[in-house]
Amino acid sequence: METVNQTTGKDVLLPDDTIEAFRAKAADTPHPRELIVDLLRAIQDHHGWVPDAGIELAAQTLGLSPLQLEEIATFYDKIYRQPVGRKVIHLCDSICCWTTGGEQVAELLRDKLGIGFGETTPDGVFTLLPTCCLGACGDAPAMMIGLTTYGRLTAEKIDTILREIRQQID
Amino acid sequence: MVNLTIDGKQVTVSKTATIYEAAKEAGVDIPVLCYAKKLLPFGACRVCLVEVEQMKGRLIPACTTPATEGMVVTTNSDEIAKVRKTVMEFLLVNHVLDCPVCDKGGECDLQDLTYDFEVNSNRFEGVKFDLPTDEVNPLIERNMNRCVLCGRCVRVCDEIVAYGSYSFINRGFETKIATAFDRGLSCEFCGQCLSMCPVGALLPRPFKFKARPWQLKEVDSVCGYCGNGCTVTLGCKDNQVQTIRFNDKIGVNDGNLCVRGRFGYSYVNRDDRLTTPLVRKDGQLVEASWDEALDAVSSALKDGKAGILSGARLTNEELFLLKNVAKTASASLDHSGGECYKGVTEGLQETLGLASSTGTFPQVEDADVILSIRSDFYETHPVFGMVVNQAVKRNGAKFLVLSDKTGKFNKLPDAQTLLTKPGLEVNVLNAICAALLESGQAKTDGVSGVDEFKSALADYAPAKVSAQTGVPVEAITAAAEQLAGAKKGAILLAYGLPYTAQSKELAIAAANLAILSGLAAQDEAGLYICGEKANSQGAIDLGILPGDGLGAQEQLAAAAKGDLDLLYVIGEDPMTSYPDGAKVEAAINGAKMVVVQDLFLTPTAEQADVVLPAASFAEKDGTFTNAERRIQRVRPGITSPGEAKSDFEIFTSLLGRLGAQVSYTGPQAVFAALAAENGEYAGIDFDAIGPQGVVWGGDKLAPKQQVLVSVSGLQPVEARFQLVTGSALYHSGTTSTRAKGPRAVIDEAYVELGREDAAELGVATDDQVTVKANGNTVKLKAKVDNRLPKGVVFVPNHFAGTGLNKIYQGAASVAVEVTKG
Ligand code: SF4
Ligand code: SF4
Ligand code: SF4
Ligand code: FES
Ligand code: FES
């Protein structure tokens, strides 16, 4: 995956053919705003997070104003407008999870990772963020990493999850 | 229609009405915060909750819920009061209590509602917002700590202004209104957002800490700048206009204004206004008495050959008196450079038998097809432009822009831009006519001159014109098809001093198109001809035209030859604003006597022999007629400084000195006299001109005839660079260059270049650029952006001393050399 252009030395936010594909799709839909989340996620998958230049690129690709992208990018907390670790843990911070030990889970995660909410581990692997209800209330307490939701969290389960992810990354 | 009951009252309203609107109709007041009459329903604040018997179990927002048949609505109960009060408590959790230092105090909806609901304490506690204020721009202060997130600013800037400066960012407690990347506001500064803000989150900076609202005297008048004729309510104190107040109750602009109308008032308060007459003695302009000055002017008028050049910002009554002055003194009379309006009116007379717009502005709001000739239309008439925005964005009108540059208009959703090389608009209009005739879509019933017209169009076949102008053939034929299919179409054309080229041809070509597409004969809308200045239409209606005398350009020529004893210039600075400044200079040097009547010692006034200090629009009583023929009342909010007099008084004194028999008691009497002389104004009573004004000729003026007239376009200018001039959004004529607001945004002339040209010349914004043509040079700072195609540069025509009118002599575009430095 090329993230830096060899000739310009600039960050590559998204490969040209992907941009072109989005441009074509946008031209084809009556409401290009529908594509905002997909495009921002694509940039994020490629680049790790979405810098201002990513918002501008997305706006230009979809024929929208940067602000029309920004309102969604900042509302939707799975889009990262700041650099994050390679994996972001979204720990649910809503009512069902609170009543099933969510606060203890938070404590555990902070301990194990050695970081607080909003921080990234020194090795750059994990960022820990609180999030509102993941819609996994039946499996509370829950957290989400990437596109995977993990429920009924216990200390052992968390250990396994973190270990497995670290292994995958290495 | 639907019938419903609100608080026991029966009411019948249209199907599209909301509960809130129905209640209003029934005379029941429901409190609102995020609702605004001119914006689409939003439902953000929940202050307007009501009970609906058919929707028991929850409270219903009145502002977003449609009224339906048989609904039974209760707008006030203990339950409702409790919930509304709670909503207020929520809002006040984070809201800073700044009232003592907030300019909104006294007219803040949050303050009023807090008082109404007796919110004396708060059951909830939370952190107060602590965000920095956005003061990066000079005109609008944004203090988001006071924001209640009603979204009115966001919506007005999107729905009406079509600029899109704001949106909500973040979520939950952190939600706030932000500009792009939260970098602060930089926009067209129309101030619609601040007029919509219910609280003190958006405030006009020039008015900061100037007065409390109840200290202001409010006077409803008409904006003195452009032909849009927006209502402005002057907020006056200490004999100064302190601010322009929001007023969506009267006039034709729905409370919308542009940067000039909202922030451009301050020139009337300037210290350097002329306060006494000046007379040249031993080469110097020195203060003189009115008697001395007026005696000098009247004897020159009486004894010699005189030419009078007026501006188009005088009231109708003043123009009428001026006409009498000219008649009594047998002087020649013309206005606004002559050429700019003359061609347009002559062209319209030949084709449609009229000299004005056919419809009103509000009729364009639900037009289905709109063609704007020049994208500059938004710059010359911004608030009419906002009507177009709404037609396109809200009501889905098809929008065609025929223009030599892109701009605001071209960015509207699905706008079709017919981008032509400069000066070739007539060619393209002819080609659209040709396409209409060719495809059999042209409407020719009751139209004369069809055959001659057809044969004259041989040179304007779409393919030919396309090759010449760069507008694709398909765009031409598509435009023809859309216009032919219009049920309620509108064609917009502005005129003014920077747009004098081909004005007759343009008017005819636009009228031809209006005829062939059936627009001219429609019941509403049709062709809009919009003058540059506040009373341009009035000047035409009142016949401030040469008649048998000399037109403006002939007067200048005569003066230059020494054939004019007096050149009398009123409310205009020809040295700056007329095309061909050298000709003006020669005239001023050649005339035996030059008199200038103005607010300031303009470059023209500096050369005069007599200078008469005049009154601004804010000091006048009378009427203006706007570009849709609406006659509206202008009212004085302040008195003139020093000994300055209104043009009305000056002309009255001159008439007396010239021995005229009649004298008038005031504007009413003059209006009665002018109405008696002018068929269109007949029967209109000055005192009966109400809050919406009176549209002479009725909302739709039917053409008196439909005659096609063939006109020729131009050949493209072949040069690496060509210069076009025109209006910048932030200014109008030369007057606004003395107003702080517009100046705060743009305070000097510039050369605008497209990115490609700029890159080739190695020029960046603010670098100096030299523009050369016919031996003359203009040196200005560069402004680089995306509006201009390759090879075209633009210089706005508002600023004195640039030398622009040495290069611009009235042609549509001028071949120039452009170099860096
Ligand atoms: S001043 Fe006008 S353009 Fe600027 S943000 Fe406000 S409404 Fe939008
Ligand atoms: S700034 Fe004013 S208008 Fe905009 S959302 Fe806040 S309170 Fe409403
Ligand atoms: S300059 Fe024209 S558009 Fe702007 S507020 Fe005045 S009349 Fe309206
Ligand atoms: S509250 Fe945690 S998943 Fe719903
Ligand atoms: S006024 Fe109805 S929700 Fe705000």
* Same domain as B185, residue B60: no
DSSP sequence for B179-220: -GGG----S----HHHHH-SSTTEEEGGGTTT--GGGPEEEE
SS3 state at B482: helix
Contacts of B169 in chain A (CB under 8 A): 70-71, 74-75
pLDDT at B84: 95
CB-count burial class (<10 Å; 0-12, 13-18, 19+) for B521: middle
**Residues whose CB is less than 8 angstroms from the CB of residue B67 and which lie 6 or more positions away in sequence, other chains included:** B2, B4, B13, B17, B18, B19, B21, B22
Q: Which helix (H) or strand (E) holds B773?
A: strand B768-773
Q: How confident is the model at residue A170 (pLDDT cuts 50, 70, 90)?
A: confident
CATH number at residue B481: 3.40.228.10
B700 within a domain of the structure (yes/no)? no
* Same domain as B524, residue B410: yes
Contacts of B173 in chain A (CB under 8 A): none
Contact flag A67-B180 (C-beta cutoff 8 Å): yes
Of residues A52, A55, A67, nearest to B167 (C-beta): A67
Residue spans of chain B under pLDDT 70 = none
Q: Is A99 on the interface with B (CB under 8 A)?
A: no
- Residue B141 alpha carbon to ligand 3 centre in Å: 22
B494 within a domain of the structure (yes/no)? yes
* Same domain as B685, residue B624: yes
B667 within a domain of the structure (yes/no)? yes
Distance CA B694, CA B688 (A): 9
In chain A, CATH 3.40.30.10 covers 87-169
What average pLDDT does this structure show over A33-60?
A: 96
Lookup: tokens for B127: 């952190």
The CATH number of domain A87-169, selected from 3.40.50.2300, 3.40.50.300, 3.40.30.10, 2.130.10.10: 3.40.30.10
Contact flag A70-B168 (C-beta cutoff 8 Å): no
SS3 state at B286: strand
Q: Provide the 8-state DSSP code for B160.
A: I
What's the domain count of chain B? 5
Q: Is the dihedral of CA B756, B759, B764, B768 positive or negative?
A: negative
pLDDT at B750: 97
User: Look-up: residue for tokens 């200390």?
Assistant: A155
Distance CA B127, CA B94 (A): 6
Pick the ligand that lies closest to the CA of residue B44: 5
- The three state secondary structure string of B382-441 is HHHHHHHHHHHHCCCCEEEEEECCCCCHHHCCCCEEEECCCCCHHHHHHHHHHHHHHCCC
Contacts of A68 in chain B (CB under 8 A): 164, 167
* Same domain as B585, residue B527: no
Contacts of A78 in chain B (CB under 8 A): none
DSSP sequence for B316-329: HHHHHHHHHHHHHT
Of residues A65, A75, A132, nearest to B164 (C-beta): A65
Residue range of the domain that includes B778: 721-820
Distance CA B439, CA B421 (A): 26
Pick the ligand that lies closest to the CA of residue B41: 5
CATH number at residue B184: 3.30.70.20
Distance CA B425, CA B719 (A): 18
Distance CA B767, CA B744 (A): 20
* Same domain as B662, residue B642: yes
- Give which of B609, B603, B614, B608 is closest to B573, Cα–Cα: B603
Distance CA B196, CA B157 (A): 10
Exposed e or buried b for every residue in B429-438, given b needs 16+ CB within 10 A? bbbbbbbbbb
B815 within a domain of the structure (yes/no)? yes
Class for domain A16-75, per CATH? mainly alpha
Distance CA A150, CA A144 (A): 6
* Same domain as B388, residue B405: yes
pLDDT at B661: 85
Q: Is the dihedral of CA A57, A61, A64, A70 positive or negative?
A: negative
- Interchain CB contacts (distance < 8 Å): A and B: 32
Contact flag B181-A75 (C-beta cutoff 8 Å): no
Rounded to a whole number of angstroms, the distance between the first and last alpha carbons of chain B is 68
- The three state secondary structure string of B525-578 is CEEEEEECCCCHHHHHHCCCCCCCCCCHHHHHHHHHCCCCCEEEEECCCHHHHC
* Same domain as B437, residue B566: no
* Same domain as B391, residue B242: no
SS3 state at B9: strand
- The three state secondary structure string of B70-97 is CCEEECCCHHHHHHHHHHHHHHHHHCCC
Instruction: Pick the residue of A40, A67, A94 with the most B CBs within 10 A to test the interface with B by mutation.
Output: A67
Among B678, B695, B712, where does a domain finish?
A: B695
Task: State the nearest Cα–Cα gap between B491 and chain A, in angstroms.
Answer: 27
pLDDT at B338: 85
pLDDT digits (tens, 9 = 90+) for B116-172: 999 999 999 999 999 999 989 999 999 999 999 999 999 999 999 999 999 999 998
Q: Which helix (H) or strand (E) holds B302?
A: helix B290-303
Task: Give, in degrees to the nearest 5, the angle at Cα B224 between B223 and B227.
Answer: 80
Task: State the nearest Cα–Cα gap between B201 and chain A, in angstroms.
Answer: 20
pLDDT at A10: 60
Tell me which residues have their CB closer than 6 angstroms to ligand 4: A 92, 94-97, 133-137, 140, 142
Cross-strand bridge partners of residue B134: B142
**Torsions phi, psi for A42 (to 5 deg):** -65, -45
Ligand 5 atom with least separation from CA of B43: 3
Distance CA B145, CA B153 (A): 15
User: Look-up: residue for tokens 């000994």?
Assistant: B643
Q: Among B152, B163, B183, B408, which residue has the most ligand 1 atoms within 8 Å of its CB, making it the best to mutate?
A: B163
Among B532, B558, B592, where does a domain finish?
A: B532
* Same domain as B123, residue B254: yes
* Same domain as B413, residue B459: yes
Taking the model in full, what pTM does it have?
0.94
Lookup: tokens for B265: 């008032």
Q: Is A30 on the interface with B (CB under 8 A)?
A: no
- A141 cis-preceded (ω within 30 degrees of 0): yes
Q: Is A48 on the interface with B (CB under 8 A)?
A: no
Write down how long chain A is: 170
Is the pLDDT at A1 greater than 80? The verdict is no
What average pLDDT does this structure show over A1-6?
A: 54
* Same domain as B283, residue B264: no
B114 within a domain of the structure (yes/no)? yes
Exposed e or buried b for every residue in B362-371, given b needs 16+ CB within 10 A? bbbbbbbbbb
Among B48, B76, B104, where does a domain finish?
A: B76
Q: Is residue B137 a contact partner of residue B184, using CB atoms and an 8 Å limit? A: yes
- Whether B190 is in the pocket of ligand 3, judged by its Cβ within 6 Å, is no
Protein residue whose Cα sits closest to atom 1 of ligand 5:
B32
Protein residue whose Cα sits closest to atom 3 of ligand 5:
B43
* Same domain as B623, residue B521: no
Q: Among B19, B39, B42, B148, which residue has the most ligand 5 atoms within 8 Å of its CB, making it the best to mutate?
A: B42
Ligand 2 atom with least separation from CA of B193: 3
